[in-house]
Amino acid sequence: MSTESETKKSDSKWRAISFGTHSLMTTLIVASIIGVINFLGYKNPKKIDLTKNKLHTLSDQTRKIVAELKTPVKFNYFDKLDRSEQSRILLDNYRQINPQKIEIEMIDPNRDPFRAKQAEIRTMGTLQIISGTRENLVTETSEEKITNALIKLSKDSSPELCVVTGHGEKSFTATDSEGFGSVRKGLLNQSYQVREINLVTEGKIPSTCTAVAVWGGKTAWFPQEVAFLKAYLDDGGRALIAVDVDLSGKEPLAELIQALEGWFIRPSRSMMIDPVSRVAGLDPTIILLPTLTKDSPITKGFELSVAMPFARPIETLSGAPAGLNIQWIARSTPKSWGELNFADISRGKVQLDPNEKQGPLDAIVTVEGKQPNSKASKNTRIALFGSSLLANNNFSRFAGNTDLFLNAASWIMEDESLISIRPKEEGVGKIEITDRQNILILLVSAVLTPLIIASGGVAFWFYRKRL
């Protein structure tokens, strides 16, 4: 009897040893697998951005600017070390693009007050960016602020865009829906200066202007103003031009249009209509531009949609000399056409007539080059838009409108390093669920999950008891 009892105890002991050994080996195998995965992850870091607008993935513009850094950049971030982790992740994203040019140091002002005082740090969470002998302080560590600071540090001077006024143009400082304050902010973020000029009072286009913007306008130009613009363009000037349609059927900007014809481009006296816009919930007078050329730096790699309201088609005239490169940038859909009867537009009843041109129609065109026998030292650059309204505060918020405008501005000023997709702004995220989904979530989280855990615990207890 005792022998049988001792045998059972011995078997139970060996089963316990076997079970313990098995558990130990399983734990070691799992730990080894986790260790190998962590090692591989450390050596080959990858991340997945699950946010709707890819907020934690650096934008194309940021990647382009950082990759092309010519001078080493030092990021000194001043904050308490226990609060620096989120900013460190963002700064590490910059360093991963160009580790040879970017260095990061996290500094706690409480532990190193001399460094903080030397850098003139007044608030926690301040980033000091040093490039050569120049530096910039960023008090908000967001991609937009950091990238803007890098742009400013990379420029020896700030290009100036001079906006022509005096013809009923909407202001670039206005914040109402029809103003252009939003794109002006984008220009300032790229370290451009924006100044409004009146050609009558100036008597010329100032020499400080890197480029001019003739953006909209409702009244005729004086002959002398047109002469100033023509002379400027003939001498290798740069111009961003938008000629709006006049629904009265008149042509108040006839003199300006005639000057453009000298460069073999002309805004048509029609207005684009496109029934396809209804699919996106838009009025047919708001034209979607789904076709963007890949042959221009302005739209190369550009995948965003663009909407242009009340747009005129841009015509390319025949006979352009070999020295001029005329390139369409954006086109409407084949279902669009250029409506000539503005009275029908006012009544809301339009149709394609035999004398009207069917799409696709050019909505944006660029010109680069020189006129025959020109003595200009550089090529003229013109970007002509069929409507100024795509860049106003109301429509600039459409997906690609602001980027397209800013890309065109960078192109005419030969600042192609800034042509790309810009940092994204975080929007308000919302999750919408139905009542049935709400009940299902409640059942899974409050009933099913605890039940599965409890059942597993009971089953494991019975299993251990039988050993």
Compute how many other C-beta atoms are within 10 angstroms of the C-beta atom of residue 289. Answer: 29
Name the DSSP class of 344.
H
Torsion of CA 29, 30, 34, 39, to 10 degrees: 0
Compute how many other C-beta atoms are within 10 angstroms of the C-beta atom of residue 322. Answer: 7
Tokens of 378: 């550089």
pTM higher than 0.75: no
Close Cβ partners of 267 (under 8 Å, ≥ 6 residues apart): 243, 257, 260, 312, 313, 314, 315, 384, 386
pLDDT at res. 424: 56
Judged by DSSP in three states, 337 sits in: strand
Average confidence (pLDDT) per 10 residues, the chain, 467 residues: 58 66 77 78 56 61 85 90 83 89 90 87 87 82 82 80 92 89 86 91 92 92 94 94 86 90 92 89 89 89 86 93 92 91 75 86 94 88 94 86 90 75 52 65 77 76 66
The helix (H) or strand (E) run that includes residue 144 is: helix 143-154
Does 2.60.40.10 match the CATH number of domain 60-153? no
Close Cβ partners of 249 (under 8 Å, ≥ 6 residues apart): 342
Alpha carbon of 46 to those of 40, 85, 383: distances in Å?
Answer: 10, 18, 40
Query: Alpha-carbon distance 72 to 315, whole Å?
Result: 47
Tokens of 402: 């602001």
Architecture of domain 158-418: 3-Layer(aba) Sandwich (3.40)
Tokens of 359: 């799409």
Amino acid at 95: R
Amino acid at 316: T
Query: Alpha-carbon distance 277 to 363, whole Å?
Result: 15
Query: Alpha-carbon distance 230 to 225, whole Å?
Result: 9
Name the DSSP class of 164.
E
pLDDT at res. 46: 56
